[in-house]
């Protein structure tokens, strides 16, 4: 019964993360509007606000990505010798994917901090 409660708690957390993603999508749409204003009208205020929003977005994404990385690491720690080989392989692949996404989030956040001229296009998954 405890395993079911844990799974339900994970699902609730993931549902909350979907709400966060919806907020990020809305912020990203608005940041694109600000970026467009900067490029079309050389509006420095739009550029500064765009950069702040992008930094905020990637900061939040780092937290979300860390949650999934930690969850994948828990799965790796719970591998038992009795688990089928394919399950072990899938868990390890999931962990590697989560690690790479977390690293990409760190890289994008670094770029957002350093790219004051908005020369590099940033995207998130």
pLDDT by position in tens, the chain (length 125): 578 998 899 999 999 999 999 999 999 999 999 999 999 999 999 999 999 999 999 999 999 999 999 999 999 999 999 999 999 999 999 999 999 999 999 999 999 889 888 777 766 54
What pLDDT, on the 0 to 100 scale, is given for residue 86?
A: 96
Q: What residue ranges do the domains of the chain occupy?
A: 2-114
Alpha-carbon distance of 125 to 110, in angstroms, equals 16
Model pLDDT, residue 67: 96
Task: Report the candidate in 22, 30, 19 with the shortest Cα–Cα distance to residue 53.
Answer: 30
Structure-token pair, residue 30: 């608005």
- The pLDDT assigned to 116 comes to 83
Query: What is the predicted pLDDT for the residue at 1?
Result: 54
Q: How many CA atoms lie within 13 A of 104 on its CB side?
A: 12
CA distance 61 to 65: 6
pLDDT at 109: 93
Sign (positive/negative) of CA torsion 67, 70, 74, 75?
positive
- Residue 89: its pLDDT value, please? 96
66 touches 99 (CB < 8 A): no
Q: Which tokens go with 4?
A: 């079911």
């Amino acid at each position: 019964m405890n395993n079911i409660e844990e799974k339900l708690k994970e699902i609730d957390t993931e549902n909350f993360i979907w709400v966060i993603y919806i907020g990020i999508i809305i912020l990203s749409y608005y940041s694109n509007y600000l970026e467009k204003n900067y490029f079309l009208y050389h509006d420095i205020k739009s550029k500064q606000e765009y950069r702040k929003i992008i930094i905020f977005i990637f900061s939040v994404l780092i937290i979300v990505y860390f949650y999934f990385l930690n969850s994948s690491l828990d799965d790796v720690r719970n591998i038992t010798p009795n688990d089928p080989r394919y399950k072990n392989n899938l868990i390890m692949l999931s962990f590697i994917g989560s690690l790479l996404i977390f690293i990409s989030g760190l890289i994008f956040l670094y770029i957002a901090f350093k790219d004051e001229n908005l020369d590099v296009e940033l995207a998130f998954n």
